[in-house]
């Protein structure tokens, strides 16, 4: 792993991390919901809804404990060196944050260290799904446990509707999808481009027509899978994505899946979409369900693109089990239609820890009722950028496929 730990960090990313670490925690993780409740009642109890969070020492101890349990897929000598650099970066990075150092004075090692703290101390965890839900006693769940427990029944239903698109070639899966109607799943167009080919007439052909499936379990340690065969393409955004990001291009696709291809298991129920086009709003809470992928390794001369090294280290350490279902809570950074350069007004930005993957993941509300899908995640990297298409602004397209919307 080629990492220049001492080079200058990305100031914007450090600024986001520092802001998150300084922010008072909302009890239960409901960052916007609790605040609005206290404001509406006009009480003085808003302060009791927040707390300062763990101390610098507690954050470092928790990170140290988490690192001790990790066994990334790299040689032992390299494992120890990476862990030492991350812990050292976290130690000096937290000190700088608490001293009010400007973001441009941080090193890459400190940037990565801060990201590791955020992931392990409960600010923005990435939680394994097992037996249909997350462990509410997980050491890295932070203050999100109350909110997740509160909406547990409906969140379980959302989780069960999220699947992994499996293919017969490495890395054995292409991305995440979720059910929009019987026999139809939603994903990204760029995921579709990995599993199918479009001809000049616009017709899509699956690259592996008999071996492309959706597994709606895909959990770490799961003994069984519930696989359904992908049979074709019902819809795709009109513009090629070609592994690039263009806010004017709709990175969405709908695949046909045969419910009868797995007679043993019922096809999962569809998700329910948000109707309000101003949702999600900035600072609202949400969660993402998906299957983070394996990090790409930079093996060339010179420096990799901004954010690549952070994603590579964090994913190598904390995502050593690739392609298993996870739930990650977070908040909306930029509300629906307010993202710069989004002329279509159909994008929002969030700060969930996506571990450098999660293409096609379901983004659901956690401020209101816990079951409304508010967006389709299509691109992102920890604390660098996380973008999603706003579901309510795609209603005209989704309604053609009997998708369910609620006011």
pLDDT tens per residue across span 117-175? 998 999 999 999 999 999 999 999 999 999 999 999 999 999 999 999 999 998 899 99
DSSP state of 298: -
Tokens of 134: 């997350």
The burial of 82, by beta-carbon neighbours within 10 Å (0-12 exposed, 13-18 middle, 19 or more buried), is given as buried
pLDDT of res. 46: 40
pLDDT of res. 74: 78
Contact between 129 and 327 (Cβ < 8 Å): yes
C-alpha 74: how far from its chain's center? 24
- Characterize the bridge pairing of strands 162-166 and 173-181: antiparallel
E strands, 153-308, where? 162-166, 173-181, 184-187, 196-198, 204-206, 213-215, 227-236, 253-258, 272-274, 285-290
**CA distances, 400 to each of 177, 234, 332, 404 (Å):** 18, 10, 28, 11
Measured between alpha carbons, how far apart are the two ends of the chain, in Å?
Answer: 49
Q: What CA–CA distance (Å, rounded) separates 79 from 99?
A: 30
Q: For residues 85, 349, 21 and 367, what is the CA-based torsion angle, rounded to 10 degrees? A: -130
* Selection from 329, 335, 333, 336 nearest residue 395 by Cα: 336
Which tens digit of pLDDT belongs to each residue from 335-349? 999 999 999 999 999
Phi, psi of 63 (to 5 degrees): -65, -45
Angle formed by the axes of helices 11-22 and 76-99, to 10°? Answer: 70
pLDDT of res. 309: 57
Residue with tokens 């049979």: 231
Following DSSP, what letter does each residue of 152-181 receive, concatenated? HHHHHHHHHTEEEEE-SSTTSEEEEEEEEE
- Characterize the bridge pairing of strands 285-290 and 362-365: antiparallel
Angle formed by the axes of helices 76-99 and 308-318, to 10°? Answer: 120
Q: What CA–CA distance (Å, rounded) separates 218 from 166?
A: 10
Q: What CA–CA distance (Å, rounded) separates 227 from 91?
A: 45
Which stretches in the chain have pLDDT values below 70? 1, 25-52, 295-311, 319-320, 355-357, 381-384
Contact between 194 and 175 (Cβ < 8 Å): yes
pLDDT of res. 59: 95
Q: What CA–CA distance (Å, rounded) separates 305 from 311?
A: 11
Following DSSP, what letter does each residue of 98-116 receive, concatenated? HHT--GGG-BHHHHHHHHH
């Amino acid at each position: 792993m080629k990492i220049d730990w001492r080079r200058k960090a990305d100031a914007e990313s450090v600024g986001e991390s520092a802001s998150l670490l300084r922010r008072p925690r909302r009890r239960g993780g409901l960052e916007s919901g609790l605040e609005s409740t206290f404001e509406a009642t006009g009480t003085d109890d808003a302060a009791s809804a927040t707390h300062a969070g763990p101390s610098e020492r507690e954050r470092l101890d928790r990170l140290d404990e988490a690192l001790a349990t990790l066994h990334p897929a790299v040689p032992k000598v390299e494992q120890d060196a990476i862990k030492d650099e991350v812990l050292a970066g976290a130690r000096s990075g937290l000190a700088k944050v608490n001293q009010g150092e400007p973001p441009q004075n941080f090193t890459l090692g400190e940037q990565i260290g801060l990201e590791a703290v955020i992931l392990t101390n409960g600010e923005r965890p990435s939680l394994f799904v097992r037996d249909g839900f997350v462990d509410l006693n997980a050491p890295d769940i932070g203050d999100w446990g109350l909110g997740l427990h509160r909406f547990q029944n409906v969140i379980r239903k959302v989780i069960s509707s999220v699947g992994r698109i499996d293919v017969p070639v490495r890395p054995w899966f292409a991305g995440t999808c979720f059910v929009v109607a019987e026999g139809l799943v939603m994903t990204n167009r760029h995921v579709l481009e990995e599993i199918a080919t479009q001809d000049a007439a616009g017709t899509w052909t699956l690259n592996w027509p008999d071996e492309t499936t959706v597994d709606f379990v895909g959990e770490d340690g799961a003994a069984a899978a519930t696989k359904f065969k992908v049979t074709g393409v019902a819809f795709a955004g009109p513009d090629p994505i070609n592994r690039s990001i263009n806010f004017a291009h709709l990175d969405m696709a709908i695949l046909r899946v045969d419910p009868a291809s797995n007679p043993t298991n019922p096809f999962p129920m569809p998700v329910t979409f948000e109707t309000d086009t101003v949702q999600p709003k900035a600072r609202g809470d949400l969660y993402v369900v998906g299957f983070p992928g394996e990090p790409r390794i930079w093996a060339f001369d010179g420096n990799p693109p901004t954010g690549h090294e952070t994603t590579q280290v964090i994913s190598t350490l904390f995502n050593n089990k690739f392609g298993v279902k996870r739930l990650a809570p977070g908040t909306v950074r930029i509300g629906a239609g307010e993202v710069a350069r989004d002329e279509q007004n159909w994008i929002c930005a969030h700060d969930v820890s996506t571990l450098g993957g999660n293409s096609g993941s379901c983004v659901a509300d956690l401020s209101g009722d816990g079951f409304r899908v508010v967006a389709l995640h299509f691109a992102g990297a920890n604390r660098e950028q996380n973008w999603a298409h706003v579901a309510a602004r795609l209603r005209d397209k989704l309604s053609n496929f009997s998708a369910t919307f609620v006011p």
